[in-house]
A and B are shown apart, each in its own frame.
Chain A
Amino acid sequence: MDKLSTKHLLGIKDLSREDIELIFQTAEEFKDVINRPIKKVPSLRDITIANVFFENSTRTKLSFELAEKRLSADVINFSSSSSSVKKGETLLDTVNNILSMKVDMIVMRHSSPGAPHFLSKHIDANIVNAGDGTHEHPTQALLDTFSIREKLGNVEGKKVAIIGDILHSRVALSNIFALQKLGAEVMVCGPITLLPKYIDTLGIKVELDVRKALEWCDVANILRIQLERQHIKYFPSLREYSLYYGVNKKLLDSLNKEITIMHPGPINRGVELSSDVADSDHAIILDQVENGVAVRMAVLYLLASVSK
């Protein structure tokens, strides 16, 4: 199979394992391309892509924009803070206006879960979900699993612990789906207040003690405490969170095993992850960022080929 089974990338949930493996194989070739002196290929030269960001983002937006430019696509950027959305325009109107300027693909981030799914029912262009509220962030999960595969050779059979604010994390949900599809064992770990109620239905392990989670896993994906989404108090203080759930060198050294450390960024240094771990050889945080561009190139490239 050389084609994705879907026209949009709305979530990992809709992808098959074959889709994910095709994306990985293509991403490997793009990783090779972006490490050459000439980092650009002409594949998408006849395509225009709009990056529509209704919510703040640095890394994801830069990564998508770079991926689009390295594929020679024309790129337009839109962020809600400086647009007519503030004047009361609806999502569908905004996007239809952008599309009437002959745009072929939309990369969208939105604070409402399901916003890209809604859009996909009403418009023709390919849609890539760049994060919808607390729901899914598929390209992040793809680059995370791609990075695990690169570091450990395979995802199947590996034990991956996702630690931190699971309740507010779209990265967690997408990662769980991706890891399960690729045959990894998944555990989530965090304070009980930051674990979603339905977590038992996903068929994953749940652990409240971070030390036990680390003793179990091969890879620890440590998530940020999303204070901007926490409208009530979920734990007494950041200091207390850091004391009970923060991952630091002392804790890792006491385990007597090697764990690969991941973080989707941005890191709150000293809260969920200490600097001596984030900057250590076990951390593949910057590899994740590099792989992000290659994986997004693969996604855009493959989606473009199913649009006709």
Chain B
Amino acid sequence: MQKRLLLGHPQLAITIGRLCQQLIENHQNFENTVLLGLQPRGIFLAERIKEKLLELTNSNIQLGYLDATFYRDDFRRRDNPVRANETKIDFLVENKKVVLIDDVFFTGRTVRAALDAMHAFGRPSKVELLVLVKRKYSSHLPIFPDYVGKQVNTIESQRVLVEWKHQKGVEEDNVWLINKED
């Protein structure tokens, strides 16, 4: 398995800092904003963003975890079904500005499912999408992220892996581009 480093941990910290500054620019004091991390891997980025925003603006923004497994349109079409994860949202998104957060943007289908799943918690006034890595030219749907950490050119058989320091067996934050073996 070949892998190439896309973002090492110093750059990753800078990128997260920049994403937070962009959020501050658009949301000012975050009075009416909530964050939703997408399960299973977007929640780690969402936690980082929340921490960083607390540090920068002193505002403690509500954060929830959203799992879109039951709303996917590729259920029964995949060889390996996706395992459901916990949805943990202790607030309503009614009339809130929602920032959906995921680590990698690929086809846009997870985001589409997440938009459906979110409606069980109310009708937000606005929804934005923040991703750490956007794979270029790969979207299957007219969905595009509002905040992007890094754009990369990839081919279908490659995979982007985001590792976070607190995960088992991981020593520091890194983003890798992986070539799947033939």
Q: Give me the interface of A with B, judged by CB distance under 8 Å.
A: 2-3, 22, 25-26, 28-30, 32-33, 36-38, 41-43, 46, 71, 301-302, 304-308
How many interface residues does chain B have, given as a range?
A: 20 to 34
B40 to chain A, nearest CB (A): 12
Cβ contacts under 8 Å, A46 to chain B: 76
Nearest CB in chain B: distance from A104 CB, A:
10
User: Quick check: is B119 within 8 A (CB to CB) of the other chain?
Assistant: yes
In the complex, the number of residue pairs spanning A and B with C-beta atoms less than 8 Å apart equals 55
0/1 interface trace, chain B 93-121, chain A, CB 8 Å (1 if under): 00000000000000000000000110111
Q: What is the minimal beta-carbon distance from B109 to any residue of chain A, in angstroms?
A: 14
CB distance from B36 to the nearest CB of A (A): 15
Decide if A32 touches B86 in the complex (CB within 8 Å).
Answer: yes
Cβ–Cβ contact B71 & A3, under 8 A: no
Give bound CA distance, A26 to B84, whole Å: 6
Closest to A104 in B: B76
Cβ B86 vs Cβ A305 within 8 A? no
Which residues of chain A come closer than 8 Å to B87, judged between CB atoms? 29, 32-33
* Known contacts A2-B81, A2-B82, A2-B83, A29 near B75 by CB under 8 Å: no
Q: Give the residues in chain A near B70, CB-CB below 8 Å.
A: 29-30, 33, 41-43, 71, 301
Q: Please give the distance in Å from B26's CB to the nearest CB on chain A.
A: 29
Distance (Å) between the CB of B73 and the closest chain A CB? 9
Nearest residue, chain B, Cβ from A32? B87
Within 8 A of A (CB), among B42-68: 67
Expressed in whole angstroms, the Cα–Cα distance for A292 and B81 within the complex equals 23
Query: How far in angstroms is the closest Cβ of chain B from A27?
Result: 10
User: In the complex, are the beta carbons of A25 and B84 less than 8 A apart?
Assistant: yes
Q: Which residues of B contact A32 (CB under 8 A)?
A: 86-87
B4 at the interface (CB under 8 A from A): no
Selected from A3, A29, A42, A71, the residue in CB contact (under 8 A) with B84 is A29
B140 within 8 A of A: no
